[in-house]
Amino acid sequence: MTAQLHYKLDNPYAYRQREIIRNAASEALELPLQDSGLWFHDDVRNNFYYACYLFAAAVDDEMLPESERETAKQKAEAVLLETVLLQNRQPETHLYGHWPLGLGLLPREAAPHELPVEIMGSLLVWFCKYYNSQLSAALRVAVHTATGHIYRSGFFRKEVVHYGHHEAKYTAAKLIFGQVFEDEELRQDGLASLKQTLDYIKNHGMPEYGSLPWFWHWVQAFTCAWELEEDSAVKAALSEMLDHLWYERAAFYLRGAWVGAHSRGWPHDVPADRNVLHDYVQFGNFPLSSSMPRTEYAGFLFYEAPAQARELALDRRNPIEVQKLTQKVVPGDIQPQPRLHSYAYITEDYAAGGLWERVEEFDNEQLRWAYSLPVSGKRDVNRLFFFHPGEGYRAGDPRHQSPYMEVLYYKGTVLSLFPVPEGTDNPIIGVLPEGEWQQQEQAVYGLVKDVYFAVWLSHAYQLASREGYLEIAAAGIPGGVTVEAVTAREAAAAGMNSLTEFAAAMSARKPAFTVGAGGAEAALLIAHTAFTGDLLRLEAGTDHGTVAAINGSPVSFEDYMV
Q: What is the dihedral of CA 357, 551, 561, 365, to 10 degrees?
A: -20
Closest-CA residue to 49 (of 98, 119, 105, 97): 119
pLDDT of the residue at 559:
58
pLDDT at 557: 63
Q: Is the pLDDT of residue 2 over 60?
A: no
* Residue 220 neighbours by CB under 8 Å, 6+ apart: 119, 123, 278, 296, 297, 301
Predicted pLDDT at 3: 43
Pairing type for strands 524-529 and 428-433 reads unpaired
Q: Is the pLDDT of residue 216 over 50?
A: yes
Q: How far apart are CA 414 and CA 535, in angstroms?
A: 12
Interval 7-33 mean pLDDT: 90
DSSP-derived pairing of the beta strands 406-410 and 351-355? unpaired
Question: At residue 7, does pLDDT exceed 70?
Answer: no
Residue 4 has pLDDT above 50, yes or no: no
**Which segments of 27-145 are extended strands (E)?**
none
Q: What is the rounded average pLDDT of the residues 373-387?
A: 93
pLDDT of residue 561: 47
pLDDT value, residue 562: 39
538-552 mean pLDDT? 84
Beta sheet of 512-515, edge-to-edge order? 512-515, 524-529, 535-542, 545-550, 553-554
The pLDDT value recorded for residue 424 is 81
Distance CA 180, CA 58 (A): 27
> DSSP alpha helices (H): ranges in 205-340?
214-228, 232-251, 277-282, 307-314
Q: pLDDT at position 332, please?
A: 78
pLDDT at 520 over 70: no
Looking at the predicted structure, is the pLDDT value of residue 197 above 90? yes
pLDDT band at 178; cut points 50, 70, 90: very high
Among 42-51, 153-162, 312-321, 543-552, whose mean pLDDT is lowest?
543-552
Say whether pLDDT at 123 is over 60.
yes
Phi and psi of 81, rounded to 5°?
A: -65, -45
Lowest mean pLDDT, pick from 329-343, 405-419, 453-467 = 329-343
Q: What is the pLDDT of residue 518?
A: 43
Whether the per-residue pLDDT at 478 is higher than 60: the answer is yes
Domain boundaries, the chain: 14-155, 380-560
Is the pLDDT confidence value at 560 over 60?
A: no
Q: Mean pLDDT, the chain, as a whole number?
A: 94
- Taking CA atoms, 485 is separated from 205, 216, 426, 450, in Å, by 28, 30, 27, 10
CA–CA gap between residue 469 and residue 455 (Å, rounded): 15
The string of DSSP letters for 226-247 reads HHH---HHHHHHHHHHHHHHHH
Write down the pLDDT at residue 335. 80
Which stretch of 144-153, 292-301, 497-506, 516-525 has the lowest confidence by average pLDDT? 516-525
Bridge partners for 355 per DSSP: 342
Return the closest-CA partner of residue 414 out of 451, 457, 358, 382: 457
- Average pLDDT of 365-389? 94
What is the mean pLDDT of the segment spanning 33-51?
97
Average pLDDT on 55-80 reads 97
Residue 5 one-letter amino acid = L
CA gap 172, 222 in Å, rounded:
6
> Are 454 and 490 a contacting pair, CB within 8 Å?
no
Count CB atoms within 10 A of the CB of residue 544: 8
Averaged pLDDT for residues 190-204: 97
> Ramachandran region of residue 503, left (φ > 0), alpha (ψ -120 to 50) or beta?
alpha
What pTM does this model have? 0.95
Contacts (Cβ under 8 Å, ≥6 apart) of 539: 417, 522, 524, 525, 546, 547, 548
φ/ψ bin of 296: left (φ > 0), alpha (ψ from -120 to 50), beta (otherwise): left
Q: Is residue 252 within 8 Å of 225, Cβ to Cβ? A: no
Contact assessment for residue 336 and residue 330, using Cβ atoms and an 8 Å cutoff: no
Percent helix / strand / coil, the chain, rounded to 5: 35, 20, 40
